[in-house]
Amino acid sequence: MLQSDILSSRVLALREIIRDGFDIAPAQVQGFVIRALRWNTRYVGNSVPLYRQRTIEDCLQSARPNNYPALARVGYILGCGDDTMIEAHVINEFVRCIDQQRDRAPERQTELAGNSIALLGIADGLQSVEAWGQTNAEHLEAAKRWVRELLDRHGEQDMSMGRVRLLVHDLLDVNGRFGTSLAQSTDMRVAALDLCLWQSWPDVLRNVGQPKPEQRRELFKALLTEQLPDRGDLLHAVSWLCALNVLTAQFAAVVVPDENHVAQILANTQGSFKRWRWEKNATRKDTAVARWVIDKEVDVQAFLLAVLYPYFGDQLRDEQYLQGFGLSQGRYDFAIISLNLIIEVKFMRSAGDANRIESQIAEDLALYFNSASPFTKMIVYIYDDSDKPKFEKYPIIRDALKNRSDRIVDVVVIPRPSMIPIRSQRR
């Protein structure tokens, strides 16, 4: 059997496990499946739905009798970020249902605290509610504080769910508890779940590094050859399916890179700051102190040229004018000719600069994508030089810019290296 046939048959088998077990799965697991598979088709083959689609109002109705699994399912659906705007009353009802859970008996709250998948769904919904900004800030913060208390007071019996709980923390506070790399684990269940989380929550985990190549190869081999998850084990099955999708896409990107591969390269620049040079004193006699200053947009462009050129060589262009009309002509920062892709670099010195950047991007879109332009899409790379960066605002900035145009395929926001001091202390 060809490798492509092995892969397709394995994917089909995993989808069938999900389809057969979805209706009898706990509501929080149903929500996790919906959230994790939003990138994928809902169908097995050409016509069989993977799961029955329910409206968010219907799911919310099930959550009202203090049913925390159903409440978690609503949170996951809110987290999917459907293009249709969620009604304000749905958001407020979701927060009100959380308030009801807070009033439940201690033993019931202990049960919820031990269910990491349910906590993840509730935290996912709260993050989306905060991004939409349509609910009372005090009520929202009280709900987030309650979830944090559940995480801190009650542990998780299943150690494989520890990574899920770290993600819950990061959804609530964006404080980096998940770590800087995915699990370097030989346990296929843990490794597959980590890739599933990475794919499903890219705004929070996009800067998290991948396992070593040899571990990814071994995981891919195991996903294709090991015995399939048991019927009814939807959490394991959907993790396998997501992991196969991630690894297949990564291997394909090495051969045929696309704009998503470029976006990931740009997101990974965060990790390259690990050993950024900023010496207090010179390490050699009669030499200058090594201080790699990034203080303006042109510095960021120089850094990115060093990052991108080894990948794309003569397909990479930098700072060239586009044909235009009238007095204004667009000049892009970078372009990858073979992908018809523009990379636009922006420099942010405070959270208030986000509005300025949004206006600039609106102007860039009009200049870069006229009828004579050879380009069809754009990635925005924002370097945050704020003295007090507001990481919780990054997803909001991304969404605001991506909503500007379908041509913006991704927005990457990177804070400055921690060793570079605040601007007033740079000499």
Q: What is the pLDDT along the chain (427 residues), one digit of tens a residue?
A: 455 578 889 999 999 999 999 999 999 999 999 999 986 654 445 456 788 888 888 888 888 767 899 999 999 999 987 645 577 888 888 988 888 888 887 777 888 888 999 999 999 999 988 888 777 888 889 999 999 999 887 665 556 788 999 999 999 987 788 888 888 888 889 999 999 999 999 888 877 888 888 888 899 999 999 999 998 899 999 999 999 999 988 887 777 788 988 998 999 898 888 889 888 888 888 888 888 989 999 999 999 999 999 888 888 998 776 655 445 567 889 999 989 999 999 999 988 899 999 999 999 998 888 877 889 999 999 999 999 888 888 988 999 999 999 999 999 999 999 999 988 888 6
In the sheet that holds 316-321, the strands lie side by side as 316-321, 331-336, 341-348, 377-384, 408-415
| Count of residues making up the chain | 427
Can you tell me whether residue 202 is helix, strand or coil? helix
Question: Tokens for 87?
Answer: 């009604």
pTM metric for this prediction = 0.73
Terminal alpha carbon distance of the chain: 64
Burial class (CB in 10 A: 0-12, 13-18, 19+), 325: exposed
For residues 129 and 123, what is the distance between their CA atoms, to the nearest angstrom? 10
